[in-house]
Amino acid sequence: MLRQIPNLFTLLNLIFGSTAIIFLMQADMVKSFDDAGRWVVSFQSPENFVLAAVCILCAAIIDFLDGFLARWMNASSEMGKQLDSLCDAVSFGVAPAIVVYQLLRFSLMREQGGIETSFFLLLPSLIIAACAVWRLAKFNIDTRQSVHFRGVPTPITAMLFFSLPMMWWFHGDVVSEIILNKWVLYGMIITGGYMMVSDIPIMSLKLSGGTWRQYIPQLTLLVFSVILLVLLKWMAIPCIYILYVVLSLVFRNKLNSI
């Protein structure tokens, strides 16, 4: 029974991811007329986006720690590996897809006749979930990813998409207009999805022994991430994502040799 503790811990990832989806589906936008006959769009339950982001952050922490727990208890298993991927598919695949679905819906509702928007214009958000599941399946069978990754990991992509509603709510009208631009969202869907399923070498953030010189890219990312978070708050997340990819590309030859 004790050997199942890491697997039960992994299931917390799924619980937090599912809870995030519940919060996301409770957030809504209402479109009505004001006294002057103009369209007015009001955002209902914005705190649910905050709660959903907290849940995904908790899921990411669990995803980072469950492997350490399994090794510490000497309870690593094929069951745990499969559970990890299945839970990640919900927390870091379906949940961010729902984020983009909601943001696209809010974006299109601001347009004239937005209430009658075709459902097919919202379907591209599901590309995120499809690419996340593809990336997770690829990770399970790709022996090259034992040290570093091929493609951007799903938790990092999920945090990128979850930063969007947080920036919308906390960083004013200018940022909100960018985030609620449907073409920006469609572009992020294509870019984020491609980066997950690509074969680009991406550095791992987990330490596996060795000297500090081996971790110069990770240390650089850590230092700049702290600075960006202090200066930009939620707006730092997309910048950190870009920095993560750029550093991986700069040190591409080193990652290819490992």
Task: Name the residue with tokens 């997340």.
Answer: 237
What is the pLDDT at residue 26?
82
Domain boundaries, the chain: 2-204
- pLDDT, the chain, mean: 83
Confidence category of residue 203, pLDDT binned at 50, 70, 90? confident
Residue 77 half-sphere exposure, CB side, CA atoms within 13 Å?
A: 13
Angle, in degrees to the nearest 10, between helices 182-197 and 172-179? 60
Taking 80 as the threshold, does the pLDDT of residue 145 lie above it? no
pLDDT at residue 157 is higher than 90: yes
pLDDT cut 90: percent of the chain above it: 37
Sign of CA dihedral 232, 237, 238, 244: positive
Q: Report the predicted TM-score, pTM, of the whole model to 2 decimal places.
A: 0.85
Residue of 127, 132, 131, 108 lying closest to 119 (CA atoms): 108
The pair of structure tokens assigned to 92 is 């870091």
Instruction: State which CATH number among 1.20.58, 1.20.120, 1.20.1740, 1.10.1740 fits the domain covering 2-204.
Output: 1.20.120
In terms of DSSP bridges, do strands 28-33 and 149-150 run parallel, antiparallel, or are they unpaired? unpaired
Between 57-66, 67-76, 161-170, 181-190, the lowest mean confidence (pLDDT) is in 67-76
3-state DSSP assignment of residue 142: coil
